[in-house]
Amino acid sequence: MRFALYYTPPAGSPLGALGERWFAEPAVAELTAQARVYGFHATLKAPFRLAGGETEASLTAALRAFCAGRRPVVAGRLRLADLDGFLALVPERQNAATGQLAADCVTGFDGFRAPPGAGELAKRRAAGLSDRQESHLARWGYPYVLEEFRFHMTLTRRLAAAEAAAARARLEPLLAPVLSEPLLLDAVSLSRQPAAGATFEVRARLALAA
């Protein structure tokens, strides 16, 4: 069982509706299969197994207190981007406030994280890491944190050029309602993967309420 801290859109919001519709589209099911496992989200703290002595209840309580002391963050307007072959929604400009929220999630909840196993480490290293990313992997269990963090909401697996063009053509008509307004990060979601390979499920969506 693994847990993660994500931003997930509010139910019924245009962004949430986009994610639901896109991930339910049969014509692109093979392209979205990997992303669907994690759900439509932006990672704030990557998936981790719980440290000994911690429980979902203790993690939820800590996240509730964390969110109560923080204000919502304006991430800015989104755009569709190619991230190393993956299609994703990203802010037009990465900003410090979004990065700080993610950094606080990474560092503030590190005590809940069990060390990654050898297989997990090998999987991360297979992508080819910089010295800084390797240092983050060793310290925080994930390489793309702190100054390496980039807010993104993944929509597909890695695509060939023709696949990307076809996916863009399907996505673009759906994007107008979500690209015109700045994204407000109003909550942090606790997501749980009950077993290896299972789909992550949102267990709690806790408002940033300060």
E strands, 84-134, where?
86-91
Global pTM value: 0.95
Q: What residues are paired with 82 via a beta bridge?
A: 87
For the domain 2-93+152-207, what is the CATH superfamily, name and number? Cyclic phosphodiesterase (3.90.1140.10)
Q: Which of 152, 154, 165 lies closest to 76 in space, CA to CA?
A: 152
Determine the Cα–Cα distance for residues 210 and 159; give it in Å rounded to an integer: 41
The answer to whether residue 36 scores a pLDDT higher than 80 is: yes
Residues paired with 34 in a beta bridge: none
Q: Kindly report the three-state secondary structure assignment for every residue of 150-174.
A: CCCEEEEEECCHHHHHHHHHHHHHH
Q: What digits encode the pLDDT tens for the residues 49-87?
A: 999 999 999 999 999 999 999 999 999 999 999 999 999
Q: Looking at residue 210, what is its pLDDT?
A: 64
What is the domain partition of the chain in residue ranges? 2-93+152-207
User: What integer is the mean pLDDT of 145-163?
Assistant: 97
Cβ neighbors of 59 (< 8 A, separation 6 or more) are 3, 50, 109, 112, 190
- pLDDT at res. 177: 87
* Residue pLDDT, tens place only, 170-205: 999 999 889 999 999 999 999 999 999 999 999 999
